Amino acid sequence: MLCSLIRKMCTTSTTSLLQDTSSLQKTTSTYFNKAINNMTASPILSTISPPSSPAMSIESDFEDHDETTTTQPRKIKVMIIDDNSVNLTILSRLLNKHFADTIQLTSVQNSGLAALDQLTKDEVDLILMDIDMPVLSGVETTTAIRNNDSHSEHSILEQNLNVPIIAVTTSDAEEQRELYRQVGMADCVSKPIAIPKLRMAIEEAMKTVSTNG
């Protein structure tokens, strides 16, 4: 598509296009018009070089790509829930350090009740939830979400009712994992968190979302 755009801008339609594959991402390609030396540079470069360029955004997947381009998938909006401040701090930092390219940490909650309240107001794409919490456990909070029971006068946003929920817990025995599945959790990641396992769990959970539409 980019090539077509460039060809339209070129004075000769037979201009050959070279693909520069030396960029950072394997899927990223930058196409340069071989006849560029015969044309004014800035019109072409202004089309293909800036990260926010529509032509670039269609093909490119640079690390520093502008998020606002229409073709760049938006980041996954994540809520994390844990009654232990140390765990919350670690998980927040971990997501910001290792998942910054795909995840936007939008909500940090220290209780199931606070999470339910927030879910009546803001849409999230993924929840990482501790299990053993006072007042409302992770299992009870998940059940409340699935049953649209916000424990308040407001309803949980419809978009949040089936949000993927991943348990993040030390309570990870098989029978407990089965319980998490039964109440509607997508997966369980053990504490202390191993980044590859968290990444895999998130990817699987988000696949389920895209599969279900």
Partner 1 sequence: MTATSPTQAPSTAETVINNIKGTEEPEVADKGAETETETDADEFEDNGIIDHTTFDQLLEMDDEEDHEFSRSLVWNYFEQAEKTFVDMDDAMEKLDFPDLSRLGHFLKGSSAALGLTKVKESCEKLQHYGNRKDAAGVESITNDEAETLIRALLVQMRREYNEAESYLKVFYDGQE
Name the residues that contact partner 1, by CB under 8 A.
Answer: 82-87, 89-90, 93-94, 97, 130, 132, 134, 169-171, 191-193, 195
In the bound state with partner 1, the residue whose beta carbon lies nearer, of 55 and 136, is: 136
Comparing CB distances to partner 1, the nearer of 60 and 87 is: 87
State the Cα–Cα distance between residues 32 and 45, nearest whole angstrom. 9
Could you give the CA distance from residue 75 to residue 85 in angstroms, rounded to a whole number? 25
Shortest Å, Cβ 116 to partner 1:
21
Helix then strand count (H, E) for the chain reads: 8, 7
Q: How far is the CB of 84 from partner 1 (least distance, A)?
A: 5
In this complex, which beta carbon is closest to partner 1, that of residue 44 or of residue 113? 113
Nearer to partner 1, 35 or 193 (CB): 193
Element (H, E) at 32: strand 30-33
Yes or no: say if 124 and 77 are a contact pair by the CB < 8 Å rule.
yes
Q: Least separation, in Å, of the C-beta of 80 and partner 1? A: 13
CB of 15 to partner 1, least distance (A): 47
Of 73 and 192, which has the nearer Cβ to partner 1? 192
CB of 143 to partner 1, least distance (A): 20
Cα dist from 172 to 96, 131, 143, 163, whole Å: 25, 10, 18, 21
Tell how far CA 46 is from the center of its chain: 29
Of 149, 141, 121, the closest CA to residue 81 belongs to 141
